[in-house]
Amino acid sequence: MRTAFDFSPLYGSMIGVDRMADLIEMSMKTASDRAYPPYDIEKIGDDAYRITIATAGFRPEDLEITAQPNLLVVAGRKGEADDGRQFLHHGLAGRNFEHRFELADYVVVRAANYANGLLSIDLAREVPEAMKPRRIEIAAQASAGAERQLQDTRPRRRAA
């Protein structure tokens, strides 16, 4: 699906705008494109998040999680099962899927767990020490005249 916006004039004058255009286009997809399988995104701490995807009918070996810089891709691929079953009603969706989650800088995958048909992926923001804000101490240097004046105003001890 292409959007009604044409970002191509920007490509000649701005570097990296193609990634921004792709993000805008992806966010404008219809909700039904992103609805299967359903998922939750929750904040479980100051810098901790969890994505939970309902993957009923998938086995852990049918699921694949790929982490790239600023991108998490979760895919489910089921082999064609021709086991001779004849359905009177087939309402369980078991089709292949792929979810792409754009991650902020320094967000990394910590763990993945599969239980009771739910795939849970724990994420955390881990800012490198070099990138964290740090307090800089300010050193004050007194001039020689100011130091002398400070010594003159101090009370002197008498020798006992």
Structure tokens at 35: 């609805």
Residue 106: phi and psi, rounded to 5, are 70, 15
What is the pLDDT of the chain when averaged over all its residues?
Answer: 80
- Give start-end residues of each CATH 2.60.40.790 domain in the chain: 36-153
Contact yes or no for 123/104 (Cβ under 8 A): no
Strand pairing class (48-54; 118-125): antiparallel
Which class for 122: exposed (0-12), middle (13-18), buried (19 or more C-beta within 10 A)?
middle
pLDDT digits (tens, 9 = 90+) for 89-116: 888 777 899 999 999 888 999 999 999 9
Cα-based distances in Å from 109 to 63, 68, 89, 106, 123: 16, 10, 39, 10, 4
Q: What share of the chain has pLDDT > 70, as a percent?
A: 65
Per-residue confidence band for 1, with pLDDT thresholds at 50, 70 and 90 = very low
Contact yes or no for 11/17 (Cβ under 8 A): yes
Residue 18: phi and psi, rounded to 5, are -65, -40
pLDDT digits (tens, 9 = 90+) for 19-40: 666 666 666 665 555 678 999 9
Q: What is the pLDDT of residue 115?
A: 94
| Separation of alpha carbons 76 and 39, rounded Å | 13
40 or 134, higher pLDDT: 40
Contact yes or no for 92/118 (Cβ under 8 A): no
153 or 36, higher pLDDT: 36
Please name the CATH architecture into which domain 36-153 falls.
Answer: Sandwich (2.60)
